[in-house]
Amino acid sequence: MTWFQENLYEHYAQTLSIEKVLYHWRTEFQDVLIFENAIFGKVLVLDGVVQLTERDNHIYHEMIAHVPLLAHGSARNVLIIGGGDGGTLKEVLKHPVERATLVELDGEMIDLSRRYLPKVSNGAFADPRANVLVMDGTRYIEEAREKFDVIIIDSTDPIGPGEALFTAAFYRACRTRLRPGGMIAVQSGAPFFQPEELENVCGRLAGSFAGVRPYLAPVPTYAGGMLALVAAGGSRDALRPPCKVLRERFGPLQGQTRYYTPEVHRAAFTLAPSFEPFVRSDDPMPVEFLQTGT
């Protein structure tokens, strides 16, 4: 049997058996490997790091999309930076949005995902509300004049092509592209192995947003089985509305999600002490960010 081994962290690795290699080549930006695994189905690997599998990708995509959209409650125009596999786009389009713009740097990634991982996007790219652009996300944010209700940063880790999407300057630029009451959600790696990444993302977002809240999603194929995400907006309370409000907003989506529920939404923001971002006493962060325990 052939095995794929992911060595993302020093002194730790995870392995997945390869039943069949479907694709392995290098695009202009990254090495792409797609293979089949007996447990997780098709697996997408970029530059040696597992990005998603058919079996558990819905957890990540539902949590990065539905948390900000249902916290907002009336989003009509949504921007997705990255997300060339189409999973986040699929979840966004379950809402009554008028337009969902996806900006992906690697156009080949979109084509490969549609060919080898069609279940992930499930026809989302063909939806008339979808506007797909192949270009650098940072350049789009700088040049665009359009305003959005929600921005979702569905990127790889802050290395290589995804590095520019984790800077304070980029988050400031995103803030200018949001309408009043707008929100942003970003992925922030595996908190057990990358606590400094979560701390940095929260701190940089806090420089542009009054309310910043990290939350968690259990994704078995990510190192340690836990993914950190961060939502930011005008206030912390707005990111975690009362369950009654979330249930009302969730009504039209009932039966369309496999992991997300209003109860899961609220529970995801309750962090164990070991996952709370450390804040130095001299950090110029808003008081709302410091009060992470409520």
Residues in CB range of 61: below 8 A, 6 or more apart:
87, 88, 90, 91, 120
Residue 79 has a CB neighbour count (10 Å cut-off) of: 28
Q: At how many degrees (to 10) do helices 168-176 and 195-206 cross? A: 40
Residue 275 pLDDT more than 70? no
**Token pair 């959209």 in the structure block, residue:** 69
**How confident is the model at residue 115, as a pLDDT?**
98
pTM of structure: 0.92
**How confident is the model at residue 285, as a pLDDT?**
45
Instruction: State the Rg of the chain over Cα.
Output: 18
Residue 161 pLDDT more than 80? no
Residue 25 pLDDT more than 80? yes
**How confident is the model at residue 7, as a pLDDT?**
87
Helices (H), the chain: 57-72, 87-92, 107-116, 118-121, 137-143, 168-176, 195-206, 236-239, 243-250, 262-268, 287-290
Q: Which burial class, exposed, middle or buried, applies to 18 when counting CB atoms under 10 A from its CB (0-12, 13-18, 19+)?
A: middle
Which helix (DSSP H) or strand (DSSP E) does residue 288 occupy?
helix 287-290
Average pLDDT over all residues of the chain: 91
Of the candidates 257, 254, 218, 269, the residue with the CA atom closest to the CA atom of residue 62: 257
**How confident is the model at residue 273, as a pLDDT?**
74
How many Cα atoms occupy the beta-carbon half-sphere of 146 within 13 Å?
15
Residue 54's φ and ψ, nearest 5 degrees, are: -60, -30
3-state helix, strand, coil in the chain (%, to 5): 35, 30, 35
Residue 292 pLDDT more than 60? no
Residues in CB range of 86: below 8 A, 6 or more apart:
102, 110, 113, 114, 120, 121, 122, 124, 125
**Opening angle at CA 67, ends 65 and 70, nearest 5:** 100
Instruction: With cut-offs at 50, 70 and 90, classify the pLDDT of residue 172.
Output: very high
How far is Cα of residue 104 from the mean position of the Cα atoms in its chain?
13
Q: What is the per-residue pLDDT across 208-259, written as a single tens digit (0 to 9) for each?
A: 999 999 999 999 999 889 999 999 999 999 999 999 999 999 999 999 999 9
* Residue 85 · residue 44 · CB < 8 Å: yes
Residue 219 has a CB neighbour count (10 Å cut-off) of: 23
In whole angstroms, what is the distance from residue 193 CA to residue 12 CA? 10
Q: What is the per-residue pLDDT across 74-96, written as a single tens digit (0 to 9) for each?
A: 999 999 999 999 999 999 999 99
Percent of the chain with pLDDT over 70: 91
Which of the residues are catalytic?
154
| Mean pLDDT score, 54-59 | 98
Residue 274 pLDDT more than 70? no
Please say whether the dihedral angle defined by the alpha carbons of residues 71, 76, 81 and 82, taken in this order, is positive or negative.
Answer: positive
**Token pair 């993914």 in the structure block, residue:** 227
**How confident is the model at residue 162, as a pLDDT?**
64
156 to 54, 126, 165: CA distances (angstroms):
17, 24, 9
The DSSP secondary structure of 26-40, one letter per residue, reads: E-SS-EEEEEEETTT
Between 137-151, 171-185, 191-205, 217-231, the lowest mean confidence (pLDDT) is in 191-205
Instruction: With cut-offs at 50, 70 and 90, classify the pLDDT of residue 280.
Output: very low
Between 24-33, 101-110, 263-272, 273-282, the lowest mean confidence (pLDDT) is in 273-282
192 vs 265, higher pLDDT: 265
**β-bridge pairing 227-233 and 211-217:** antiparallel
Query: At residue 41, what is the residue type?
Result: G
